[in-house]
Amino acid sequence: MKNTSNTLCVPLASLSLPGSGGSDVPPGVGDEVDFTGKGKVDRIEGDNAYLTVTTVNDQPVNADAATADEPDLDDEEGAMRADAAKTDSNKDQVY
């Protein structure tokens, strides 16, 4: 799970609440949510513990699914370097 600062990636369904029509309603951007969770200490650096979240509101969090849409920084850096090299190789062209 890739999390930065105070941001966690959790399944939206685990934060949904029962709506008036009987179906669950997920929160929207900016909504405040109240949840309970469990996790495992991944590493400790100084006074900070980094956690891998395992459940939210008693629902399991699949770390692989939570990070599936997040680009790998190594891949992103490689793509940026390739774009820069392509731009450098075309520097003598007139547009």
**Tokens linked to 35:** 């949840």
Distance (Å, rounded) from C-alpha 48 to C-alpha 46?
A: 6
Question: Would you list the domain boundaries of the chain?
Answer: 12-89
pLDDT tens-digit readout, 26-41: 899 889 988 898 988 8
Residue 92 has pLDDT above 80, yes or no: no
Percentage of the chain modeled with pLDDT above 70: 76
Residue 13 pLDDT level (bands cut at 50, 70, 90): confident
60 sits in which H/E element: strand 59-60
Q: In terms of pLDDT, which residue wins out, 67 or 27?
A: 27
